[in-house]
Amino acid sequence: MEEKKDLRNYIRKQKSLCSPDQLAAMSETVVGSIMFGGQWGVASTILLYYPLADEVDVRPLIHMAYQAGHRVLLPVVAGKELELRLYEGEESLRAGAYNIMEPVGSLFPQEEYDQIELAIIPGMAFDAMGHRLGRGKGYYDRLLPQLTAAYKIGVCYPFQFVSDVPSEEHDVRMNEVICG
């Protein structure tokens, strides 16, 4: 447990050394890598996330996928779980838990999670084996096992891609990690 806490603190320190412009430039690189990757072009139901200020900004992907007519899902904090809701444009967003913008659109039923073809997942740190370290609340740890059919891409800034993320047997690995 201490190992995870130390890694989170290290990542927070690295983020604090970057200007907003530097983080924005790194986000653009990550977004470009996703757009030109093979999975982006073939998925019709995509799980994304609305970023916190210190996370890779995937809002351009949300807008592009929505404009192209894809089914875009965003997570909403509901107690200790994440529920998935349909993104129905910027006007359908409201500030939710942790001041994260969340859609107020239709709930995406759990029994249809196998229709999610691509999931773009944030994290504090990732490694080459696809292990992910979250913020410590376990929201994605509870959601990821339900995304059985989705190709999971972890996204992070280059300094968040580390040699080894502490992991446990039950942790769901990413299929791919994009950090630039």
Q: What is the pLDDT of residues 16-43, one digit of tens each?
A: 999 999 999 999 999 999 999 889 989 9
- Mapped onto helix, strand or coil, the DSSP state of residue 136 is coil
Q: What is the overall mean pLDDT for the chain?
A: 94
Q: What is the pLDDT of residues 80-123, one digit of tens each?
A: 999 999 999 999 999 988 888 999 989 999 999 999 999 999 99
- The rounded distance, in Å, linking the Cα atoms of 121 and 101 is 16
Work out the average pLDDT over 64-90: 95
The CATH number covering residue 46 comes to 3.40.50.10420
Residues in the chain: 180
Quote the domain boundaries for residue 45. Answer: 2-178
Work out the average pLDDT over 130-139: 94
Would you state the pLDDT for residue 15? 95
The proportion of the chain whose per-residue pLDDT surpasses 90, expressed as a percent, equals: 87
CB 128 within 8 A of CB 162: no
Would you state the pLDDT for residue 177? 97
CB 38 within 8 A of CB 117: no
| Number of domain units in the chain | 1
pTM given for the model: 0.94
Would you state the pLDDT for residue 45? 97
Would you state the pLDDT for residue 20? 94
CB 85 within 8 A of CB 74: yes
Whether residue 1 is predicted with pLDDT greater than 80 in this model: the reply is no
pLDDT band at 2 (very low <50, low <70, confident <90, very high): confident
The CA dihedral of 174, 134, 78, 111, to the nearest 10 degrees, is: 10
